[in-house]
Structure 1
Amino acid sequence: MTIVALIVAAGRGLRAGDGLPKQYRPLAGRTVLERTLTAFLSHPKIDRVAVVIDGRDEQLYDDSLGQIPGDLKAKLIQAAEGGEARQQSVLNGLEALSSLKPTIVLVHDAARPFVDQALIDRAIEAADRTGAAVPGLAVTDTIKLVGKSGEVVATPDRANLRAVQTPQAFQFAPLLDSHRKALAAESLTFTDDGGLMEWAGFPVHVFEGDPTNVKLTHSNDFAEAERRLKGTPMTYLTKLGTGFDVHVFGDGDHVWLGGIKVPHSRGVVAHSDGDVILHALTDAILGALADGDIGVHFPPSDPQWKGASSDRFLADAVARVRGRGGIVDHLDVTLLCEAPRLGPHREAMRRRIAEIAGIGIGGVSLKATTTEKLGFTGRGEGIAAQAAATIRLPEESAS
Structure 2
Amino acid sequence: MPPFDVPEGDPFGPHNLPYGVFSLPGSAERTVGVRLGDHVLDAGAAAHALGSPYASLLARPALNPLLAAGRTAWSDVRRALTAWVTVPAHRETVEPFFHPLSEVTLHLPFEVADYVDFYASENHARNVGRIFRPDAEDSLTPNWKHLPIGYHGRSGTVVVSGTDVVRPSGQRKAPADAAPVFGPSVRLDIEAEVGFVVGVPSEQGRPVPLSAYRDHVFGLFLLNDWSARDIQAWEYVPLGPFLGKSFATSVSAWVTPLDALDEARVAPPERTHDLLPYLDDSGEEPGGYDLRITVRINGHTVSECPFSTMYWTAAQQLAHMTVNGASLRTGDLYGSGTVSGPTERERGSLLELTWNGRDPLELPGGKRTFLEDGDVVTLSAWAPGPDGARVGLGEVTGRVVPAS
Give TM-score scaled by structure 1 length. 0.23
* More RCO (CA 8 Å, sep 6+): 2
Richer in helix (by share) = 1
Which one has a bigger Cα radius of gyration?
1
Give TM-score scaled by structure 2 length. 0.23
